Structure 1
Amino acid sequence: MAEIDVFDGHNDAVQFIAEYTSSGRDFLVRSESGHLDLPRAREGGLAGGLFALHAGPERQPENDLIITENGYEVIYAETVDPLYARRQIEAQRLALETLIRRSGDRMRMAVDVDEIAAARAEGAFAVVLHMEGAEAVDGEFDYLHRLHAAGLRSLGPVWSRPNMFGYGVPFAFPRLPDTGPGLTEIGKDLVRTCNRLGIMIDLSHLNERGFWDVAALSHAPLVVTHACAHAICPSTRNLTDRQLDAIRDTDGVIGFNLSVCDIRADGHLNDDTPLDAVARHIDYLVNRVGEDRVALGSDFDGAVIPRAIKDASGLPHLFDAMRKSGFDRQTLSKFGFDNWLRVFGLTWKNSPSS
């Protein structure tokens, strides 16, 4: 099968680049560690992706995993101090900018659909700035405006912990995503501000009430950059059929998460997850929301992924498994690249800078 170009809806590679951490890897050199670097991206057909800035905890929790009789629960992560978060986010953003400069013209920051398309045509790797969790954003949204001017085009209001904007969904299995309160009042203002700026709102890690709060407020398509179907794997991080229907009805997109514990029906953290099972899960989503509304949101460098894929260079194995399961070339191209650009065009067109 001819190579499928891929735009990936989510990765955590910024946390591991040498420009950000002294123990990090050189993104421009092929590595056997982690999932993503530029050489492996090219081997796998990746033409770009959303790169997540994310503020880690001030203190690493101990013994936060509880094994239950038929699953697991993770103790809710602590709220992060906004100033501490802002220092991390700025350091990551500047590190990514430094990496892009060092790449010559091999990597480019992209802020609109035309720039992604141009990078693809010219063989450059397109980087779109995303932030996972809005802890660094102040109540007046001054920092959000600064980030937007610096290229931010996608924002998840929460990660799986509470902040002043809302309540993330704690990791648990088997459990529904309806785990508590949704957006706060200032969280609702954040949604309105993102709509005005043309920043895509990512509903990953938001609990179900927060999802419906955004759905009631936003005039943009509903987007979840990395999740799977709760009907197949009843993890809190996955979407119920009703949530999937809302994505369909707003012409949004769900980015399929390669995290095995969100793919597998048993919720196990087992990388020996066959690709035919992965393809069946994707097929469920496509049948529910349509072939124009499912894309890839790998969670590279942030999850345990199927061993048969291994890293970004193994993405052709995923597409081959999808082809064997009955997906045609057009649907594979939509899943790989076109669906992200479609929803970006619907969202970013309202941006004053686009």
Structure 2
Amino acid sequence: MTRHALFVGGTRFIGRRAVREFRDAGYDVTVFHRGEHESPFADDEAVDHLRGDRTDDGDLADAAARDPDVVVDLVAYQPRDVRTATRVFDDVDAYVYVSSGAAYGDEAVPKREGETALEPCTDDQATDDSGGTYGPRKAEGDRAVFAAAEAGVNAMSLRPCVVYGPHDYTRRFDYWVQRVANYDRVLIPGDGTNLWHRVSVENVARALRVVAEEGAPGEAYNVGDWTLQTLRETVETVADALGTDVDVVTAGHRELAAGGLEPSDFPLYRDPPHVLDTNKLRSLGWDPQAPTEAVAETVEATPERDADEAQQGPDRAAEERVLGVLDTL
């Protein structure tokens, strides 16, 4: 009998790739969403659409009435969302909550499930919607999953690090694609060895299905690219995908100050390193995509890659001032 997957959310970045992953695996799919974004599956008769608000208990009950075998919760941003969903979908074979690597509270390298402490979450943080409370809210959502599993719900959690790939509306990766596409010299903060673990959207989609099918209730699973790339390696991989060469120029705090810049102004830079241990997910049978393939797909899909300015990151004039200082040293 064909299994049925219900996606809470699913019309945007991670969701659109994950829906295809489940459809390709033979699932019937229902996408439960508010209809605020155009659905990439609007003309796909194999994907059912249910309009509603996940914060409305009646709408969520209507979604549960579709009798899904698997629920993938992509848009649970507050702990109460998870508590409500695990109550409404308490009889499914798998409820998979999309958490985040930001849920970790300790700067261990690498961060391991069940070992590295999670962020605490106050009552005020739990109902906030600002970026500063994102990690604590995701951590509290994880704890809601664990509590639901103890009560007999087949609930589990997936923790992605920074996700990149086609249709990424955050456009964090675009900056580096556009710099490589437009300039011979690309400025990188630090010494180029910065490690902020990333994961392709393809790898997240594969992980969601593996966890839904093979994961254990009450468990959390990290997901990040199996092979990590430093920021320098990422830029070089982008250059390879574009069939070009670039001169990678590194700059410390003092040099960056000449352009009024800080290392954190550059997308995908983080200090200290952020690395997730993904062995637990791999043990379930997860087969990850290689970063070189993922970056090539991302480059191909990057909008306006020939534009002079990226949506995020420093402007080129500031970078040129830094490069000018470095040329005098």
Q: Would the TM-score normalized by the shorter structure come out above 0.5?
A: no
TM-score by length of 2: 0.32
Larger radius of gyration: 2
Scaled by the length of structure 1, the TM-score of the pair is 0.30
